[in-house]
Amino acid sequence: MNQPFTVAIDGPAAAGKGTISRAVAARFGFAHLDTGALYRALGVKGGDPVAAAQSLASEDLARDDLRSLEAGAAASRVAAIPEVRAALLEFQQRFARRPGGAVLDGRDIGTVICPEAEVKLYVTASAEVRAQRRWLELGGDPAQVLAEVRARDERDMGRADAPLRPAADAVILDTSDLSIADAVALAVAEVEKALRP
């Protein structure tokens, strides 16, 4: 496929959007972008964050240290700069329309970054299920993990700039009671439907 084809996958933390995005990209041979990694890459890159955002390249996203605590702390600092967000908007839109197809996952892909995406999925699950998944991944106090998931949802859904919400034409994929294989199969079916001539 040489023409652009964009799959936008949004949803709250621990709903499964990253897992589904990677699987869909692999299944169709599309490029994949975890948009949260952009802010981490800028934080790790250092220097002037606006200049770094304007010159961000795919290689910057392949670094081994993007999941470090330092990268996360730096990401939250640069994410608050409006000029950084504007520069990253352009990067994400260019990535989305590259030839050969692209899958982007985040919180505002279908609503802000790629409102014209050929496929829009909103991957969600109950707060309790997502907290359980996060707890299995990271450990800690289960009640505290649930409180953090709910607080994150409130922040993401309540912010003035690009709040987390499904696009009007997004397909809602609730993974609360689905296996990974079943969730991926449903996402793949939506992409296949959109690819049919």
Residue 86, marked binder? no
Query: Is there a binding annotation on residue 175?
Result: no
CA torsion, points 43, 45, 49, 51, in degrees to nearest 10? -160
Q: Is 16 annotated as contributing to ligand binding?
A: yes
Q: Does 53 appear as a known binding residue?
A: no
**Residue found under tokens 């689905």:** 178
- Give one word for 33, left, alpha or beta, with left for phi > 0 and alpha for psi -120 to 50: beta
To the question of whether residue 140 is assigned a binding role by annotation, the answer is: no
12 annotated ligand-binding residue? yes
To the question of whether residue 15 is assigned a binding role by annotation, the answer is yes
Is 13 labeled as ligand-binding? Answer: yes
| Cα–Cα distance for residue pair 82/5, rounded to 1 Å | 28
Q: For residue 1, give the nearest of 105, 114, 98 by alpha carbon.
A: 98
Sign of the dihedral defined by the CA atoms of residues 170, 175, 176, 182, in that order: positive
Does 14 appear as a known binding residue?
yes
The answer to whether the CB of 91 falls within 8 A of the CB of 54 is: no
Cite the annotated binding site for ATP by residue number: 11-19
Cite the annotated binding site by residue number: 11-19
